[in-house]
Each structure stands twice: as C-alpha cells, then as structure tokens.
Structure 1
Amino acid sequence: MSRSCKDISELLEAAKRIRLVDRESVDLKTEKLLEELRRCFVIHYFLDELVEARTWIKMFQNIVRKSVAAVNAKNVLLPKEFRSFVIDPLHHLSKKLFNYVYEFARGRLDEDSFLRVAEAAVRTSLRSNLRSLYENWVFLALVYELGTMYNARIVFPEHMHILLERSGRQRSGGIPPNLILALEGRGYISFFLEAPRPIGWGDTRDLAKSWKFYVALRPDLLVYSGRIVDIVVPKGDPPILQPTIIIECKELEDWYLRTREVRGPFAEPMTAEEWRNRWLRGLWAGLADILGVDNVERAYEVVKRKKGIRLREPQIVKLYAKLYRPRTMFLVSRRFVPSWVKSELEADNIVVIDDVGFNEEKLKELVDELEKIASYEGVDVDLVPVRRDDIEKLDKLMMLTGLKSREELVSALIRYAWVHRDEFVKEFTKHQKSNS
C-alpha cells in the first residue's frame, strides 16, 4: 500500500482508450495499467476500510500464535480465500476486480456500471472476510483461554493443526469436528465451525430435502460436551446431534439493525410428503414462533406468498436457538449492544457478551462455561502419552505379571491404585515432599 497511486480518473480514462478485443491481445504495458487500476480502485474507494482490515489482521495473527502455543498445536490451517485475504488484503480485494476491469477495457461496461459492480464486489469480499476473521478470532481466543486457564490440549485432528477450514470434509455423509480439546482431569470439548454443511446423502432423499433447510440456517460455532467425531444423526429430530452450546459472533457495530433474506429452500413449494417430514415441521414451528403466527401452516403460507422471508439478525439468532435447542446459547458482539436488543435475546435465554473488541479476557464467562461442559462422552478408550522409559517399565511389569497386553496391565495398575487409594495418595504425597 506504500506505492503511490495515480489519480483514479486518469486510470479510468486510460483504460477506456485501450479498447481490448480479447484477453489474448493484452500486452505487458496494458496488463500493468489494468493491474494498477485494480489496485488503485481499492485504495481510492476503500482506504479507511483497508487500514482497519490490517489492524484486525494483526489482532488475528496474534491470537493464532498464542492459541497454537497454548494447546500444543502445530499451526492453524485457514481456508484458501481467507488465507489470501490475511496475507495481503489489498492484493486479495484487487483480484475481485479482474473480470470487471477487462470488461471495462473492452467497452462492455460503461464507467458508471463498472464503478457500481466493482464497488459491490470489493465491499462484499471485504465484509465476508472481516466477518470470518472475527468469528475465527473468537474461536481461537476461546482455545487460547482454555489452554491457558485449564491446560487444554489438542487431540483432534490427528495432524495437530487447528482447522478453520469448513468445507470439503464431509463427502462421506458425516461432519467431523474442526477441533477437539482435552482438558486435563475434566474431559473433552468438540468444536464445529459453521455447521451443518452440505453433505452427500446417496439415496436418502427425504433427509436430503430437509438438510437444505438446516444448511440455510448455520450458526457460527457449535460446541459439544465430550469427544464427538460426527454430528449427523439421520433419524434424529433435528437430524444433527443437539449441541451443548451455540456461539454466534457479530463483528459489525449495528448488526442488530440489519436484516437478512432467507430464501433458498424456504422459497420452494413443499409436497404433502415433505410436509409430513418431522424435521421440516420442527423447523417451521420455530419460524412460526419468530414470525408471531399461530401455527406452522400459517408460517409456511407467509413465506410462500413472499417467496422467501426477510428476518432481522436478532430473529435469526433466536431461530438458531429454537431450531437446534442447545443447553446454552451465547452471542459475542465486538461492539456494545443496546439494552433493548439484549432484553429481546435474553428473553429467549440467549446470553449476550458485548463490547468484546479483540480482548480475549472479556470472554471469561464463556470460557468458564466451556470448562463446565468438558466430559468423557463418546470416549470408550483414551490415548495417554507415555514416556519411553515408562513404556519400558510397563513392559517389564507385563512380563513379571504374565499379563498379555499393556492395556490389561494399565487397567490392573489403576484398579490396584484405586482400591488402595488412601495409602497410594499418602505415599505419593510423601514422595513429592521429599523430592521438593
């Protein structure tokens, strides 16, 4: 961003004079001009936003380093688009103008049309990436705090990287977690970012239909008590495992004033067979409550008549809670939330944590709640790291006792220590004091 930019109007006029026939006819000089136009367009129209984005990125990179160290992870893996934005936001946003600049230089877009579509493309990409950045910052801040306060350690994925990637990992018909943490002496917590996601269903057509609705209503973060490796429950109601906690993140100052068009499957007509599907009726029941109508049929008629529905952001948050029925739902807002919005959400038992900014210490209430839900749910056999010299001792004990496996030996040792626990604790404490 340190390179100077020509006046944007001069660059636009220069691009008009090119009159490209096709992309193959672009020479090096023309290519440099069009590249300069893309770069300077972003700087000219989005300089303040770009400066703010760089500040946010520094905050994000800082929490990446801290969270990796806190839970003994190897690194954090980012989605391709988001990684490009974090590395160089100016270059990333400039790339969004690639096709528009060529169409402008070929005379297929006039100046007003070019400015309109180019501005929309950059703004959409910027908002999308900043939304992802704050959501990811909140997630990693929770990971950092759990590692620091409760000695949490990464146990999944096996490659020991924290996954922020959300897609392409559910082709087999299941949805794996982004991260599982083990909290020493407490159990496990499993995290799923932006789930449920599209998955392959094969011949399960009724569920494939209802799944479209759930994908259209996707919270930022689902958290589960225990070691949960898949949340798809084909015969469940709803067809995903009920989350212990839902966390929704809001980065904009005025998020509660904004509305969102919910179309997709909501605008499609439903057959009598689909209408009898209990998953779909459950979803429409939640929507009926949000819309303030008497029953699911009336909610369906309202949406059908409008070919979709526009909901306020607080309504969408409440719909998540009604649809997925978590034990607790949190909303984390970067900026202050007015009391009337808090009251609306708290009436549906949604806990609001606002004015968080990029200060992970303000998430302590949520971190403490996460610690409380750690459990051994879903764990039949656990993996415990053992030093090499201790493994050798276990093998010698196995030979002396005649047991056939380390698993049998460890179980026998634990049973023995438990039966004689008072004596064991007394001797262990005595040994610790003598070594201190």
Structure 2
Amino acid sequence: MGIAEETCDGITVVETHNAAARNAWILVAAQSLGGASSPIIISLGGLVGQQLAADPAAATLPVSMLNLGLAVGTLPAAVIMRRFGRRAGYVLGATIGMTAGLVATLGILQASFAVFCIGTFMAGLYSAYVQSYRFAATDGLVGADRDRAISRVMVGGLVAAVIGPQLVIWTRNVLPDHAFAGSFLSQAALAMLAIPILLSLRRPQRSIKTSTDGSDGRPLSRILTSPRYLLAVATGVVSYGLMTFVMTAAPMAMVGHGHSVDSAALGIQWHVLSMFGPSFLTGRLMARFGKERVAAVGLLLIGASALVALGGLDVAHFWGALILLGIGWNFGFIGATAMVADCHAPSERGKAQGANDFIVFGTVACASFFAGSLLHSSGWTTINWLVLPAVAFILVPLVWRAASLPKIN
C-alpha cells in the first residue's frame, strides 16, 4: 500500500496511520498517569476506611465506591465520547479524576468518611474513561497494527503499577497529622498532568469505510440467554470478582498481621505489575491454545493464589499470593473478554459488551465491599477458602467447553 493511495477524503493511508500511531503513544502516557489512580485507592482505601468509618465492617466501602463508580460511569462515558469525541470525553474524565483526588483529600482532612467515599466514587468515574484508552488506541488502525497499539497502551499500565504505590510511599506523610492525605493530593496531580497530554489527541481520518445493513442484531434479552455468552460473562465475573475480593482485603490483612504499610503498598505494586505484565503474551497464548483454555489456566492460578495465602502469614505468602492472583486475572479476564467478543455480531457489539461490563464491574463493587465485612468478621483465612469453590464453579463448565473445541495447531 503506497503513500500515494488516498481515502475518499483525500487523506493518505500513511497519514492516517501516522496520526493513529501518534495517538497510541499519547494514550500510553495518559494510561501511565490515569492508571495510577486505582492502585492508590486500592492500597489505601481500606486503611483510610478503618480510620474514618464508624463501623469497621464498612472499611472497604471506599474501594467498593471506586468499583461502583467504574460500573456506573461506563455507559455514560461511552455516550459522551460518541457525541463529543474521545478527546473531549477524556479531558472531562481527567478533570473528574483531578476533582476526585481533591475531594478524597478533603474527606481525610475533615475526618469525613462520606466525603472520602464520594472522592473514591468520582475516581471510579474517571477510571471508566481510562479503561477505554486501549480501545481508542486502535482508532484508524487495522490488523496487526491494532494489536501493537493495544500492547503499547498496556505498557502504560505497567508504568502506572509502579507510579501509584510509589506515590503512596513517598507522599503519605507529606501533610502532618493527616496520614495518607498527601497520597490523594498526588492522585489529583496525576490527573491534572494528564489533561494537556489528552488535549494533544487528534482524531485520525478513516482510511477504510465500513458498511452496515442498519440492523441492530438480536435483542439484548436473547444475547443474555445465550449459553456461550453466559459462560463468557460468568468467567469474567469470577476472574475479576475474586481478584478484587482478595486484593481489597490484602492490604488490611497485611497491616493487621503486623506488616508495614509500605510492605502492603509494594504488595499491591507487584500484584498490579503481574496483572498487566503477561498481556504481551496472552494474545499469542490464546491464538496457540484457545481463549477458553487460557481462561481456565487463569482460574487455576487464582485458585493457586488462595492456596499460597493459606500457607502462611509472612510477607512472602502475601506477595506470592498477590502475584499469582494478578497473573490469573490477566489470563482469566482477557480470555473472558475475547470469549464475549465471539458471542455477538458487529452490530450487537455495543449492547453485548456494555451489558458484560456493567455485570462484571457491578459484581466487582459488591465483592470489594463484602471483602471488608468478611475480613472483619471472619478473617483472611476465610476469604481465601471461599475462593476455591467459586473457581471450581466456573472451571468445570469452562474446561468442558474447552475440551469440546478442536485443537489449534
């Protein structure tokens, strides 16, 4: 395909490709900043909740509000970006993220649990925009270029996994007599830094026009009752739900068993690194072995993480469990996402994927809240024992499904 080839608008394919590739790198930087918000809240939300909540069982409510904000914000974010464009939507999201950090800081300064939870909920709304950066990176690209663009954005997730926990360590005592307030100020600063980066996004012209028959495909009720779709959604719910269930409780469990806040933050850092690190290989593994088989291995790794956690209470047990949990989430959730993509026609993409995200992130919000209540009432051991039957419940039909598929050469 030569440089002289043009689109119907007179824009060359090369120009379109270059604009899209430039956007991908901009989104890498934005992901590095915006993706650090969630690790900060996950590392500290439960600990701040323990300080501010009147009921210890509600300690993980701030993390639950983060996940609830993500679930609630997914569909409105899509509508806003569809109407006003990705750049306007992402700048709005970063503005919400900056405000979220300031509100959470205010909640700590005023010792107001409600205000702090509002701040973490707003951070979830910001995360709804950040979650779509990997899809935006593919705009104007086709084929292998799309895969490379997604991989680049995942590099931003790795950087965010380092930035977030390190900021917790560096800034948690910046404001005297208000532990952790400085960390949430740094969260606001990261979102503010993302705004000028996002303003440099440009909408690439389309080099290939697509045609549709105007059909919206099957009604959502029929999609939701499809066995393949239900298994795919259930795999995502269990993979993401169990990961959140254990990850939310882990920092409080570590501190409760005599480990330092820094150790807890570093444990979350290793966990988030293990969540994003395998992404460069996951696509190849799915192409080689099949997405159902990769998702099944992910669930097995999540089960293995629970067994490691049950093996002891040393830092090594906590960190080892969190690392296995992250890798298991990567295989399980990405495999489930690819399974969902196989269950709908292009015209059904919006409603099928939107319903999946709403179910998954709604469940995640419930799991994060239940984790705090269960940790307070029954302890870290009980949380990890509950992981095993949940894994088995989905693993059995998933393995049956994988065994029924032809082997990939």
Structure of greater Rg: 1
**TM-score normalised per structure 2:** 0.27
Report the TM-score, using the length of structure 1 for normalisation. Answer: 0.26
More strand by share: 1
